[in-house]
Structure 1
Amino acid sequence: MTSVNDSLSYLFENIHASFSRLGVVEQVIDLKSSSSQYLYWLSTTTFHDAGAFFRYIGAATTTSLFICVLTYVLSLLRFRDEKDVSQMKRGTLCLPALPHAVPLLYNALELAWSPSKFLDGVMNTYGCNRPFRVRAGPLEFCVVANRDHIQTLFRSSKALTSKPGTLFALGRILNTPKEVIPFYAADDSGMATKPRKESTVRHEDRIHYWQAHTSQKWLSGASLQLMSENYLSILEDELARLNVDDDWIELPDLYRFLQIHVSTAAIKAMMGTAIFEQYPTLVEDFWTFDCNVGNYSRLVPRWWIPAAYRVRDRLLENIGKWTEYAHSKSDCSKVGPDDKNWDPYFGTKLMKAREHAYLQMPAMSLGARASETLGLIFASNGNAVPSIFWYITEALKDRALQGRLMSEAMACCKENGSFDVTTLATKPLLQSTYAEVLRLRIAIAMIRNNEYDNTNLGPYTVPKQTPMAMFSRMAALNRDAWAIRPRTLDRPLEDFWSERFLVYPGETEAASNAHSSDFPVHLHSADENPKFSLDGLAGCWIPFGGGQRMCPGRHFAKHEILGTFSILLSKFDIEVVSMTEAMDLQPDLNWAPYGGLPPAGKLRVRMRRRVSKPSNK
């Protein structure tokens, strides 16, 4: 390190000295002086050397461009050869590798610059029918975009692991202590109740199983209902304290408003209120962390973005302190039917069960548990809050849609003014709008890996230990896949359409080998009673993943999105300040594939407290 610093110091000293001399020279006016003679000698020498230097740069640039063009042409020819069905080996097709221009780096620069643009370009150029290899420096993975192939992977959940994606998130995003990473990597027991036959991992150390088991158990049934109702109650309290009366006020940024109030309510509902007493700036720090997830993933160095790393350090430190404080006040083993469903220290039984399971694992230090908790906060807020924003924004842009949505919502309002979240989640238009928001505004990557055997995807064989990546946004825009439900293509997949997931009486839900152009646009009256349906769309609509590893928090997220929309628009009149601003607002695709896509700009809204409840008619 010292030699590097010495070299850099010497370099900068020489550069500074050169510029200093030039500065003095530029001030020389008298061409008869000795200084002017020095200037003439320096300028001719410097320009001579500079000319050689620039000629060298030009030659090097030309050579580099030639190498890049040649590399691209050769890799393109090989790609076309590999993807040709006639190129068979032992009855199976080889995985074609995407063309690249830069030797050794392959597609790394394009992927790091903008994963979303890279994947969109790949889909538009090569289609989604076949899997293909992507290489980024020493890393290599297989992209799977075909609907049938995606379903094959989801059906093979027991044979596959999501370990590569998990280890990536732990090491790069959540800053899990390095000494704990091998513990996660060593768990080869799978996620099923019964471990793999060959596994020798101690039952208590089956961390992937315990993560899935506790989440599935405590994010469903009565526990889910209680947490959802608690969330809505806390959110109502948050909104009741707002300094908003029946006069219009302007919010400069609706998304920021939702970040603060929705995240506060969600964290309190899940983790208790004590964490805010211990760490008042939790929400502010979390959203700073969230907007730097891409930087952490790309390993942007700490010296380049020191504030971002300090925020993550502060989050982990304070979450660790809260964990120790919660243990001093509450017993995380108390998760029986007679124990409290929620307390202010740990919050829900979900948090207690997770913590209790981790305490049985000697490798799970306080730092590792803090990283796990940060990951849970990220998972429960990073997708839900952007989705809530877009749900509300689409309703504000279309008054007719807003009225229809609120009509369904108010039909679920109880006598005490609270909403029945279970009933909300059954209403067709509310659900269809929810599904459409997630289709367009969630962009996640799902990584699967077969550690022991090759994976067959139709005629293609993916070698074992090769990570297979599925991207929800690619699936959401794959027109060929969505043609199985012709009506879903009545509007372009790139556009938001709240009725895309509705099925009207007399319509068929699926038609194999059908294309939108073969079917007329369907027009329906408001009096018809459609139903919400995802039938036939497995492998197309995958914002929560699929198979055994489908997101266990999806039911709470649905309650959170529909409940927040219903409460906000029943308690307040809200309208956009500028309809043009609202219509032009686009999602920030730089966030893909890390989850919910935030808006690329701010949306100004006016709001006032309602004097009377909206009608459900």
Structure 2
Amino acid sequence: MVFRYQSLASYFRCHKPSKNVSSTPPTFPSYLPIIGNLPLLYLWNPRSFVLSPTDFFQSSSSHPTHVKILHKDLYIVQGASNIVALFRASSLCTSIPFVKYAVFTGFGLPKRAAKLFDLDNSGPGHVPHLDSNVDPLNRIDYRVHTSMVRLLTGDGFAPFWGRFMSSVTKRLTQRNEELSMRVGKKEEQRDLIQFVADEAMGAFLEAMCGPHLLRLCPNFLEEFWEFDRGLPSLLKGMPWLFAPRAHAARKKVLKSIRLWQAHARDNFTSSVIHEDGDDEFWGSRFIRDRHVMFLEMKGYDHEAVASQDLGAIWAARNSITATCWTVYELFRDPNLLSKVRVEVESCVKGHAGKHIIFDIDKLMKMPTLQSVYAEILRLRMHFYIIRMGDRADLPILPYGIPKQQVVVTSTTVAHMNSTAFNTGIDNEHPVDKFWGGRFLTYPNGDSDMSAVFSIKCLEGSWIPYGGGPRQCPGRLFAKRQILLTTALMTSLFDCKIQEDADKDLGEDLRAFSMGVAHPASKVLVRIRSKEGHGV
């Protein structure tokens, strides 16, 4: 049987597809043809599985692949040209089944509200499908996405970003002052990852939800990260009996969100709305408008709105975790840190009291800083981009993937393609290791002054934000958040890693496929105020 399987797999990898666009992709062979594949290795090490040269992800680089797993049909799309084709066909797709699963199974949306997803046949566009019978108020997919786009790329972005910038600058400057004012030894031992995560997430919460969530629920950050650690168990559908901590963490964080929202309902009046549309009780206009929007929908109440807002808050964990990795990689490499500090210093416009004011547009263009940012997302982002053709087959030439079938693309597989990414002159920088210069070119010489950041020619290969019409709308905020927080950390603090800085930190694979991986362990550092930035 093993010989037969290996022979079939060899044929499959060498198979040349038909030029008939209507044909479906070939099926990956399995030991158990009736049941399908049983990827047991995935349970122990999912990263190793998707990168194994014999698995169906690696066999899908030249053409889409049909895979049967325990009677379930999947279509795997890998390879840059195929991924680009999938993104271009995304307007034909629906994300409703996957969003419903996440908010219901992961974020605790009540069944009565989750049913609305099943009834929404209006499509993703501004104009609903002609045969749609959904009340415009119940177009949950379109309305939720539109509200997110307004916050992250529309008229809600400037005030949202301004509040985050002000908050994260204030928080980190305050931590810097606390270290400077210590009597005697002006340093302390901290977990670098938790330090960065809490300060950046705290600033995000203040920007999105206003000051009262953290005031009313001072343990919310701890509750949130506990929920995040338990979310993989929830998304696997594990009941309370087998995942009591995960369910308890979700219950606790939802209770805090409901407490804050009740306070906002009781205290908000139109007179407290600022000129930019935001207010202190709801925070951003985005949150306030969402509250009204959801309560217009069938089956929604305050409990359901809290679950939806937990999902919106949780979405920040990827950029926050990426920030932690970025800061870690810089403080473990003095040479790279020095280069980034030179770039960051050139972006300082001035000071407002003790607060550093950066030229954000200039900061966003710094080559080494951008290269580190892009490399972190390449190396640490483990996510499945999932699509489903709604009313038409998806054309991934020369095949057509049948409508209403799940299509999966792994960012891990795309990002670990050594033929797509720069590995150095002598391949001294393999793709499974961090290299801060991977996205730099030197068209005018080898000096740092001539470095140019570039992701050209990487379409379909560097895909941390997905692609197509539903590409992550938060990508602009995420980049700004990562770069600004990193700039502040490197400007205000010196951190000495206590353990061997050359030792690979490793990743926590329990949340594999959910986004940016958390580090596998704490990173203990001696943190102190950077010389010249104390009180």
TM-score past 0.5 threshold: yes
Check whether the contact 2:349–2:359 (CA below 8 A) recurs between aligned residues: yes
Q: Secondary structure at the match of 1:383?
A: helix
Look up the match of 1:181. Answer: 114
Out of 63, 66, 76, the residue aligned to residue 130 of structure 1 is 63
Look up the match of 2:151. Answer: 218
Check whether the contact 2:187–2:529 (CA below 8 A) recurs between aligned residues: no
Out of 26, 29, 32, the residue aligned to residue 95 of structure 1 is 26
The one-letter code matched in structure 1 to 2:391 is Y
RMSD: 2.9
Look up the match of 2:319. Answer: 384
CA distance in 1, matches of 2:195, 2:345: 24
Check whether the contact 1:588–1:598 (CA below 8 A) recurs between aligned residues: yes
Check whether the contact 2:73–2:405 (CA below 8 A) recurs between aligned residues: yes
Out of 245, 248, 269, the residue aligned to residue 307 of structure 1 is 245
Q: Secondary structure at the match of 1:584?
A: coil
Out of 175, 192, 197, the residue aligned to residue 130 of structure 2 is 197
Give the CA deviation at 1:344. 2.2
CA distance in 2, matches of 1:450, 1:493: 32
The one-letter code matched in structure 2 to 1:541 is W
Give the CA deviation at 1:105. 6.9
Question: Does 2:327 match 1:356?
Answer: no
Check whether the contact 1:433–1:498 (CA below 8 A) recurs between aligned residues: yes
The one-letter code matched in structure 2 to 1:588 is D
Out of 452, 456, 465, the residue aligned to residue 544 of structure 1 is 465
Say if 1:221 and 1:432 are closer, same or farther in 2 by CA, change over 3 A.
farther
Look up the match of 1:598. Answer: 518
Question: Does 2:309 match 1:373?
Answer: yes
Question: Does 2:221 match 1:283?
Answer: yes
Structure 2 gaps of 5+ residues are none
Look up the match of 1:526. Answer: 448
Compare CA radii of gyration and give the structure with the larger one: 1
Look up the match of 1:571. Answer: 492
Say if 1:123 and 1:609 are closer, same or farther in 2 by CA, change over 3 A.
farther
Check whether the contact 1:572–1:609 (CA below 8 A) recurs between aligned residues: yes
Check whether the contact 2:440–2:454 (CA below 8 A) recurs between aligned residues: yes
Give the CA deviation at 1:291. 1.0
Look up the match of 2:477. Answer: 556
Question: Does 2:341 match 1:411?
Answer: no
Look up the match of 1:65. Answer: none
Check whether the contact 1:342–1:348 (CA below 8 A) recurs between aligned residues: yes
Question: Does 2:422 match 1:492?
Answer: no
How many residues in Structure 1 have an aligned counterpart in Structure 2? 522
Look up the match of 1:273. Answer: 211
CA distance in 1, matches of 2:241, 2:324: 33
Look up the match of 1:145. Answer: 78
Q: Secondary structure at the match of 2:241?
A: coil
Comparing 121-130 and 424-433, the one that deviates more: 121-130
CA distance in 2, matches of 1:431, 1:227: 22
Out of 393, 402, 422, the residue aligned to residue 328 of structure 2 is 393
Check whether the contact 1:95–1:462 (CA below 8 A) recurs between aligned residues: no
Give the CA deviation at 1:170. 1.9
Comparing 230-239 and 202-211, the one that deviates more: 230-239
CA distance in 2, matches of 1:100, 1:314: 44
Q: Secondary structure at the match of 2:121?
A: coil
Look up the match of 1:106. Answer: 37
CA distance in 2, matches of 1:241, 1:154: 44
Out of 267, 279, 289, the residue aligned to residue 343 of structure 1 is 279
Structure 1 gaps of 5+ residues are 1-69, 507-522
Q: Secondary structure at the match of 2:431?
A: coil
Say if 1:77 and 1:410 are closer, same or farther in 2 by CA, change over 3 A.
same
Check whether the contact 2:56–2:65 (CA below 8 A) recurs between aligned residues: no
Look up the match of 1:61. Answer: none
Out of 524, 528, 531, the residue aligned to residue 608 of structure 1 is 528
Check whether the contact 2:350–2:358 (CA below 8 A) recurs between aligned residues: no
Check whether the contact 1:433–1:499 (CA below 8 A) recurs between aligned residues: yes
CA offsets per residue over residues 78-130 of structure 1, 9 Å max, x none?
55556663675966353323534697373264444443232122278636223
Runs of 4+ in 1 over 6 A off after TM superposition: 332-335, 485-490
Question: Does 2:199 match 1:261?
Answer: yes
The one-letter code matched in structure 2 to 1:552 is P
Give the CA deviation at 1:184. 1.3
Q: Secondary structure at the match of 2:455?
A: coil
Q: Secondary structure at the match of 2:404?
A: coil
Look up the match of 1:421. Answer: 360
Look up the match of 2:408. Answer: 469
Say if 1:457 and 1:264 are closer, same or farther in 2 by CA, change over 3 A.
same
CA offsets per residue over residues 395-428 of structure 1, 9 Å max, x none?
1122121111111112221222222323211222
Task: Work out the percentage of aligned pairs sharing the same amino acid.
Answer: 27
Question: Does 2:508 match 1:588?
Answer: yes
Give the CA deviation at 1:161. 1.4
Comparing 238-247 and 193-202, the one that deviates more: 238-247
TM-score, normalising length: structure 2: 0.89
Give the CA deviation at 1:591. 2.3
Look up the match of 1:447. Answer: 386
Look up the match of 1:505. Answer: 443
Say if 1:161 and 1:487 are closer, same or farther in 2 by CA, change over 3 A.
farther
Question: Does 2:32 match 1:118?
Answer: no
CA distance in 2, matches of 1:75, 1:584: 36
Please identify which structure carries the higher helix content: 1
